[in-house]
Structure 1
Amino acid sequence: MSKMSGLSETERAGFAKILKLMSEDHVLSLCDTVTNKMIVVETYTEAIETIIAFTNNAEELLKRKKVVRDLIFKYLAKEGVVMPPNSEKHQLVKRTLELWSSGKTDETRPTTEVKAEVAFDPLVLGQQFCQWFFQLLNSHNPSLGQPCQDWGPQHFWPDVKLHLLSRAGSEQMDDFLGAEMVSLRLLALTKEEHLLLSPNLQPQGIRALASPHGLVLVAVAGTIHRDKACLGIFEQIFGLIRSPLENNSWKIKFVNLKIKGQDALGGTEMVAPALSYNSTELQLLCN
């Protein structure tokens, strides 16, 4: 027995995301309700597909008891729609239906368009990104004794490039290509070489700018430590682009990392290093 869904493509994609936030038991139970137990499903995925196929009206499904308020709230947050935390379910349902009819969800948003619902500030993104990135990378330094977080190629675009320039004694320049190689080389800094990278997130230590094509550049300076010794400073530039297939999360497209050991610094101030890149140089990288 088959039945065509009366939902639009946007609504179907939205429901798939909402249902994936539910527990398996709730999805199977909702499937029974929606189909009046006329369809026997074998798997969680089949249950989601069946619920969507047997739904003619988006509002009706959103209003069902098992689609609880918190699920809709979470879904909207993931789509970049910020609602007051005390919103009631009927308000969240209304906002979801508006979102779907406007067609501004992740499925329909162009790949590189920055979400326009909130004023986009590249610097705020840059600070949040740096906090996340360095905390994640440093968690793999065994001398810190922290639980390792989920570092890996999933945070990079498949064709990511890493340009690594190191001036400590002699000068060494290396290029790495591809998510696997780049991810492993950066990981080696903390995991094998036991380095700790401490970014300077004060105004003189970080800059960010966005290109019209959706590339965001984040440049940050910081100090490098091993155990209690400060070994030198680093400057790192990240190119970030959203991935529409992964909840529009930002992924790393390229990394330029410049490391200067103490001997190459000639007594420069190392407490909170400032960036040497200016906006014009960053603008050139954007093109």
Structure 2
Amino acid sequence: MSGLSETERAGFTKILSLMTKSDLLSLSDTVTNKMIVVENITAKETILAFTKNAEELLRRKKVQRDLIFKYLATEGVAMPPNSEKHMLIKRTLELWSSVKVVDENPQGEAASNSSDVNCGIGFDPLVLGQQFCQWFFQLLNSQNLSLGQQPQDWGPQHFWPDVKLRLLSKAGSEQMEEFLGADLVSLRFLALTRDERLLFSPNLDPRGLKALTSPHGLVLVAVAGTIHRDAVCLGIFEQIFGLIRSPLENNSWKIKFVNLKIRGQDALSGTDVAAPALTYNSSELQLLCS
């Protein structure tokens, strides 16, 4: 009976997981016209089974704007914090449509999975950068327990043993922290999302994302985005990743270094928070490759 694709069903499963029990049961009553009495454990499947199309369900009153915004953020899609619900619906439908195209392309499957992004002839660093950022921020944001999602497989295995993190934060005062080693770097990132409940929303548009390569095999990915806690935008971030393949682990990409700069609202002074752009130019990024 359902008219949803597998991609749409997977997306709705995540969105519905963010809803309260009462809202979930109420939505089930609406979708089924109260023809079926469901328990909490079957409400999600009932809603999906009786939904004719994705847009219809997204427009339901109980599928609140904040739920769609949080879902997009966990999928690595940056949206302005003040986006209206119809804009979020449009972007969600575009996301699901693009995923269906990728699913039909066998070469794209491994790339969207994890850090096991492989590239061969015709390698485009910008494509790798987009795929890597979608994977990384979805994985990192899943550690934020306030989203009500099952945390994904975060840990030191995604970093080189000698990885280095430089964290510069400007919120009132300026503070610089440095961490060396996969365990410490992994734990510091985990503290940002799990303990401080931060949510990173990267801007993967051309103004917010750059990628380039060095002759030595290093791929540099730079991305800007917004940082949130619940429905509040706290500021913006710029993050630079150095990625190197690991020949002993199926040539998967692992993180060699990270430079993370965070600016709170009081340090922005007129910056466009809705869709932040990178302040690093290509020459500055190229120096990090040398």
Q: Give me the whole-angstrom Cα distance separating, in 2, the residues matched to 1:267 and 1:119.
A: 40
Partner of 1:164: 167
The answer on 1:219 being equivalent to 2:222 is yes
Which amino acid in structure 1 is aligned with residue 268 of structure 2?
L
Determine helix, strand or coil for the equivalent of 2:260: strand
Q: Give me the whole-angstrom Cα distance separating, in 2, the residues matched to 1:139 and 1:200.
A: 18
Partner of 2:136: 133
The answer on 1:203 being equivalent to 2:198 is no
5 Å-filtered alignment, 1:1-287, equals 116=120, 118-287=121-290
Q: Give me the whole-angstrom Cα distance separating, in 1, the residues matched to 2:287 and 2:271.
A: 27
Which amino acid in structure 2 is aligned with residue 251 of structure 1?
K
Which amino acid in structure 2 is aligned with residue 169 of structure 1?
G
Which of 1 and 2 has higher RCO (CA within 8 Å, sep 6+)?
2
* TM-superposed deviation, 1:266: 1.5
CA offsets per residue over residues 111-163 of structure 1, 9 Å max, x none? xxx854x2000000000000000000000101111110000000000000000
CA offsets per residue over residues 173-226 of structure 1, 9 Å max, x none? 000000000000011110000000000000100000010100000000000000
- Percent of aligned pairs with the same residue? 79
Which amino acid in structure 1 is aligned with residue 286 of structure 2?
Q
Structure 1 regions of 5+ residues with no counterpart? 1-83, 86-113
Partner of 2:22: none
In the superposition, the TM-score normalised over structure 1's length comes to 0.60
* TM-superposed deviation, 1:281: 0.4
* TM-superposed deviation, 1:268: 1.8
Determine helix, strand or coil for the equivalent of 1:225: strand
After superposition, the CA RMSD in angstroms is: 1.3
* TM-superposed deviation, 1:267: 3.0
Q: Give me the whole-angstrom Cα distance separating, in 1, the residues matched to 2:270 and 2:149.
A: 32
Q: Give me the whole-angstrom Cα distance separating, in 2, the residues matched to 1:216 and 1:228.
A: 34
The number of equivalent residue pairs is 175
Determine helix, strand or coil for the equivalent of 2:140: helix
Q: Give me the whole-angstrom Cα distance separating, in 1, the residues matched to 2:214 and 2:168.
A: 25
CA offsets per residue over residues 249-271 of structure 1, 9 Å max, x none? 00000000000000001132100
Determine helix, strand or coil for the equivalent of 1:203: coil
Moved segments of 4+, more than 2 Å: none
Structure 2 regions of 5+ residues with no counterpart? 1-104, 107-117
Q: Give me the whole-angstrom Cα distance separating, in 1, the residues matched to 2:204 and 2:119.
A: 24
Which amino acid in structure 2 is aligned with residue 233 of structure 1?
I
* TM-superposed deviation, 1:246: 0.6
